[in-house]
Amino acid sequence: MHLFVFSRKPVLYLLMFLLVICFWGFLHYQYLSIPSLVKDPETYYIVRTQEKVTALTFDDGPDPLYTGTILDILQTKNIKATFFILGQNAKQNPDLMKRILNEGHEIGNHGYSHSYIPNKFIDELIDTDKTIFQSLNQQTLYYRPPGGIITKSIVKEVTANGQILTLWSVDSKDWQNPGPKQIEQNVVKNIFPGSIILLHDGGEKREQTIQALTEIIEKLQQQGYRFVTLSDLKQYDADITVQKNIPPA
């Protein structure tokens, strides 16, 4: 009997150890790689400024059901935003792509098919860039990985491809469809100068995002915020860098 117990124990320990490792791996993949928790300094998710400026970003479009309405709202409010488009949607909606560009918004790359498989990211990034270049004769400077999944090698490869891996610092959580009021609160309560706001204009039902958008804009404007594209937002970080280089008196 003793012998039986002794021969099983190490196997049990090994199994428990493997179980813990698997669970840790799952947690790491599911949660720890989510950028709002990691705040990776090698990515663009914030600029350090005291100016009340912020960037609205819309992922997963262009979508014929929602993107046009979002563009209408932005036009009415005279606001410029950034759209992280999917290559497959860009191909199907060339008129919306032109409209986004012609109305002064910035276009970022969000991959081709919204695949969550990290080793497909770079191929999809390149395919999407080709699609955008064919329709608009323009290169993208900003890349946002689907689901915000990042690894060191993805950051390295994106940088080597000449793009800036871009995440966000204020999550509207509109992807949960929690109701327009909640989406608005998620933004208004968490806003700060130099933040990047995550919203969606495609992928799933986006009526709630559309319902929340005007309120988000008006509430933030009442607080003194201005809305800029990602490239314009970056200029504010540059100011701080210049100030840092001034030697102390």
Residues annotated catalytic, as ranges: 59, 200
User: Closer CB to Zn ion, residue 180 or residue 202?
Assistant: 202
Instruction: Print the binding letters for residues 66-95 with Zn ion: x by CB under 5 A, - otherwise.
Output: ------------------------------
Stretch that binds Zn ion, among 46-54, 59-67, 116-124, 131-139 (CB under 5 A): 59-67
- Tokens 């320990």 correspond to what residue? 13
Phi, psi angle pair for 43, to nearest 5°: -110, 165
User: Closer CB to Zn ion, residue 59 or residue 129?
Assistant: 59
- Nearest residue to Zn ion on Cβ basis: 59
| Distance in angstroms (rounded) separating the CA atoms of residues 207 and 199 | 12
Least distance (Å) between residue 48 CB and Zn ion: 26
User: Closer CB to Zn ion, residue 146 or residue 194?
Assistant: 146
3-state secondary structure 151-216: CHHHHHHHHHCCCEEECCCEECCHHHCCCHHHHHHHHHCCCCCCEEEEEECCCCCCHHHHHHHHHH
| Residue 73 near residue 214 (C-beta atoms within 8 A) | yes
Least distance (Å) between residue 60 CB and Zn ion: 4
Site for Zn ion, rule CB under 5 A: 59-60, 146
